[in-house]
Every structure is written in structure tokens, then in C-alpha cells.
Amino acid sequence: MIKKSSLKKVKIPNSLQGILWSKSIGSINLEDDKVYIIHQILSYGDIKDIKWLFRVYSKDEIKDIFISHPVKIYTKPVFYFIKNFILNIKKDTNENEYVKNISGTLRQK
């Protein structure tokens, strides 16, 4: 984990631009945008991206953001994988605050 005072010196890898698509990598602030960064990477990142996230923020900080600032961007399998395996959260969390609904009709054959 990187100390808060050192966050300004951390360079966000260009490879994360596709995950952090709503902002330019150069304009993202690791402290001010941490809710966005944490949820985007947990929801859309791969293991390499999640490892980077844990080098920048502590596990406790990531868990706290995940629990206290729910964002409805996760698929059900990703939500449970992050909650149960990556963050090891035993506390009951309301999946409706995290899991996005799939809109449209489903075709049946």
C-alpha cells in the first residue's frame, strides 16, 4: 500500500484507461477519485489490475469503499467473487445496491 502523502507520485498505468474510461488517466486523482477507481477496477479489471489496486490502496480502505459507497455496476457473479473471495466480506451486503439489471427481453428457443 502507498501512503496517502505519496499518492500524488503514483502514476496510473495507461493500461487502465479502458477500465477508467470516463476520465483521462492524466486527470484522475487517486485520492479524490478513489471510489470511482476502486469500483471500476473491481468490476471490470483483471487480476493484474486488482493487484495494482491493492498496491495503491490498503485492503481495509478498499473494503470500506466497497461497503460504504455501493455502486450498481457489477454483474451478479463478479459481485459475489469480489465480495467473497477478493475482499473476504462476511457481513451481509444488499446485492441490489451493487448488481446491475440486464435490460431487454430474453429469447427462448
Distances (CA, A) of 84 to 47, 62, 96: 15, 14, 16
- Neighbouring CB atoms inside 10 A of 16's CB total 20
The pTM score is 0.86
Phi, psi of 99 (to 5 degrees): -90, 125
Q: How far apart are the first and last CA of the chain?
A: 50
Contact 76, 95 (CB under 8 A): yes
| pLDDT tens digits, one per residue of 52-61 | 999 999 999 9
CA distance 20 to 27: 11
* Share above pLDDT 70 across residues of the chain, in percent, rounded to a whole number: 85
